[in-house]
A = this chain, B = another copy of it.
Amino acid sequence: PGKKVLIVYAHQEPKSFNGSLLKIAVEELTKQGCSVTVSDLYTMQFEPRATRNDIVGHLHNSEAFNYGVETWEAYKRGGLSKDLVEEQKKVQEADLLIFQFPLFWFNMPAILKGWMDRVLVQGFAYDLSKVYDGGLLQDKLSLFSFTTGGGPEMYSKEGIGGDIRYVLWPMQHGIMHFCGVKVLEPHICYAPENVSEEKRKEMLAAWTQRLKTLWKEEPIDCSPEWYFK
C-alpha cells in the first residue's frame, strides 16, 4: 500500500495474453493501494535506437560520437532528450519495476532492449565503480514477467533450449543487478498460444495470486550459482 510500481510493457496487442497479464497487474496492484504507472512502449512508439538525437544541444566531442560518453555528459548537464528524462523520472519514483513482454529470440523484444539501452545511462543508473551492489538504483525491486513460444520441457536443463535461467542472466544480472536493483523470481508463462483455454485461465489466476503476496517475497540471490548451478 502506497508503493509505486512502474510496468514497462512491450506487446503490440491489448487483447494478447501479455495484455491480459498487464491488465491483471494494474488492477491487482491498484486494488492493493499501489500507485501504478505503465510505459506501453509500442503505443508510445518508443524509440529503441541509441543515437545522437538523445542528446539535446552540443556534443561533448563532436569529432567522434561515443554514445556512452555523450549520454553520461548530457545527463550531468540535464541535456538528455525529453522521452528519456520522462522514463528516468518514472524509474526514480518507482519501488518496483515490472517488465512484461513476450520472449523474442531468447531475449526481450528490441523495443524493450532499446528502453534499457537508452534510459539506464551512466550517471543515472550506475557510475564509475558504482555498479552491482553499489549501483545507483538501490532500494528498488524488479520482476521480469514474460511469455514463451516453447514449452517448459524445451527450456529445461536437458532441453534443446537449455535452462530458462540461462536467458535470465543478461537481463537480471547484466542489467538490473548491475544497476543495484534487486530481482524477484521471474514470472514465466510457457507457451500460452499452445495450451487450452482452461490452462490459460489458470495461468492468469496464478499471476493474480502471486501479486497478492508479492511484497512479502525475498529477492533472489543474484549470483552465478542461481543461474548455472
Chain A residues packing against B (C-beta within 8 Å):
12-13, 15-16, 42, 45, 48-52, 63-68, 104-111, 113-114, 116-118, 120, 132, 149, 157, 160-162, 166-167, 169-171, 173-175, 178, 193, 224, 227-228
Contact = CB atoms under 8 A, between A and B. Distances in A.
Number of copies: 2
A184 to B, nearest CB: 19
A178 B103 CA distance: 14
B104 A50 contact: yes
A12 B68 contact: no
A161 B162 CA distance: 20
Nearest to A177: B160
A28 B91 CA distance: 46
Nearest to A45: B49
Nearest to A172: B106
